Structure 1
Amino acid sequence: MRQGVTVILVCCGLGCAVPAQAQLASDLELNEVLRTTLSYHGYGAEVADADVGDDGVLAALPSLSASRLQSDQRLGTDETEIALNLPFKSSRRRDVDADLGALQQSLQQVQQRYRAWFFSGLIRDAVWEHRLATLQLEQSRARAALILELEQRAALQADAGAIPGYAALLLTQERLDAELRVADGVARRRAAQAGFSALTGLPAVPKQIAETASLPAEPDYSQHPQLALLELGRDQQQALIALTDPAAADWNLALTARSLNGPGPTENQYGVAVDLPLTFIEVSNRASEVQRASLSRDFSLQRDSLRTGIRTQWITLSAEAQRLRERRELLLQSARIGQRIEAQLLTLRSSSEMEVELVIRRLLEVLERRSEAALIDAEIQHNAARLRQTAGLAL
């Protein structure tokens, strides 16, 4: 008995926890949604900056060599030699290594910016898909409810002989179509909710999704995450190519110990050998030159392609924003006139099937315009969010 009561209490607690979590999620700001999403996908502030400290002076692992030369003469001299080779970085190599360390740190920072921008775009699409689906569903339900009311009134009037029975049948057909739109709207909103939860790990879409930051006049290409990441990748490849230049050749220090064992006393010799490239002599490196030319060519093509794509998308969305604003004004005017038309259409009475059908069609057109007017503000805000994404702005 106690176990049964415990199970009931746990189930009740879980049932209360889910709505509470949904309520908390719906109160989040979009920047908090972004942080949650990054953490949900395994990214976040735990990524450490690259260590740009001293990487040491050795260019490679030291090597130890040993040799033993045995004389074939009875009174010959045997030779034993041990050498320690220490490859040191040249000054050019140390400069390139320092540049690579700084570039790695910058790349990590830009990668974080790019990741935030990338997920911002996914979040923007997800929340606005849910908002538009919700608004469309509300309009579909309002449309279905009004048509149902008209159908019921038409059925009573048809029974009384005030209007032909065809009007009631036509409204029944329209009601069924409206209910189908409601069912499609429910499915669309459910899919949007599932997509948002799969992306962010949150149970509910935030209530406030309109961004308050001002919209830039045009994209800032110097700060765009895509272009910044491309440019730093080019710089990193150039630094790696620089390591193959003759001027970056390593220095070598060899410490040698030699023992000569012959008829006389054993002789021990110690020596130091230094191998320094003469960097003041110009040496052509055709492979590096080809790599640099190929890298520059590829970078220019990718940069131009990205800039053109961003610019084209910006112009397209800006034109769409202008069209939506103009359409909004016309829809608001149409909605005001539609209210007057609707009031007059609902009072019309006719025994002609053609006139009744015309009245119903006109009334449905009024409802359609009203629905478009209710959605236009959300479409304008969605367009603004896409413009921010195109400009390279994260949430």
Structure 2
Amino acid sequence: MTVTKFIPYGRQSVNEDDIAAVVESLNSDYLTQGPKVHEFERQLADKVGADYALACNSATSALHLACLALGVSEGDSVWTSPNTFIASANCARYCGAEVDFVEIDQHSYNLCPEQLAKKLALAAREDKLPKVVIPVHFAGQPCDMAAIHQLSQQYGFAIIEDASHAIGAYYQDQPVGNCQYSDICVFSFHPVKIITSAEGGMAVTNDPELAQHMRTHGHQGTTKKPQELTQIPGDWYYEQQTLGYNYRMTELQAALGLSQLKRLDEFIARRHQQFDHYQQLLKGLPITLPKQKGDAKSSLHLYPILLPAQHATKRKGVFDALRQAGIGTQVHYIPVHSQPYYQALGFKLGDYPIAEDYYARTLSLPLFADLSYEEQVYTAQALSKALADNGVTL
């Protein structure tokens, strides 16, 4: 079988309805903030079962606003997973806080509640408890939020769910984003994610005060409805109450996001079908396939495989062979604590061995809504050949 086009690891699925929605906004009176943004916020909040939503220009911005709303500042500590994109940690650094990491579970690749419990017990004895913990639903697989929430009740930290991979996922039969076990949950709409708004993110919460804090900070620190005034001077009036940021989503992004949201369930069903295809096509190869948890339904943003530990050094050869075959395999992620910026803060290799071992052996295979079965077969054949050519065996 020959596939002539390059197959990326992830790609948006944009149809004529999406294009028409954006064109309609282009022809409207609003290009920046308008009714589509508020409609997108309302519909997504309804979809995930949250009370409030704030659309942003990226998930990174939404994470920053979440930290600000929870009062993260200099002298505080925020903990997250080392197996994530750097934004999950950087959002705390933007606020002047210290960052620390919690080792991952070797089966789900998510932040491990048992490791978290051990680290919290030690931190409590040293009076160094975190103000916020940011669990990351890696690859769309929900973390064990009930266990993490229970620890938050015991040790008094707030929770921001980084669900950048997990729109459309379910945990304990409830949609990720309902904030049952968290203060704030953040989604991403980057083009490689489940649905896209070209670029964009959303923060959801059930707390009206947190929602208002995020909205104020994300709109240059301004509000049009100051509570201190009994009478507003006029419709032109606004107040800057704090130092904020321009993190607003545009009408064009919201129009695309709204149109995409209609197909969210279709996208998730398609990804699960593709996941099942891979599980069959790759069965018997000398690799570890991803697993699904019984109490959760992943959104399947990524399909990460693992090479055998004894063949970790051959990962680059397999990677290069797949790329040469036109398959855009990728690695998710380089552990955050190993990045030069965080090394300069005192972290070092060996601090989180499970995350480092995972990174050394993982490859993400193509997985996106428009990926065909023929392309999956081609990917499986190319991977089998790449493994054999590089001497990767069990």
Normalised-by-shorter TM-score class: under 0.3
Structure whose alpha-carbon radius of gyration is higher: 1
Higher share of residues assigned helix: 1
TM-score (norm 1): 0.21
TM-score (norm 2): 0.21
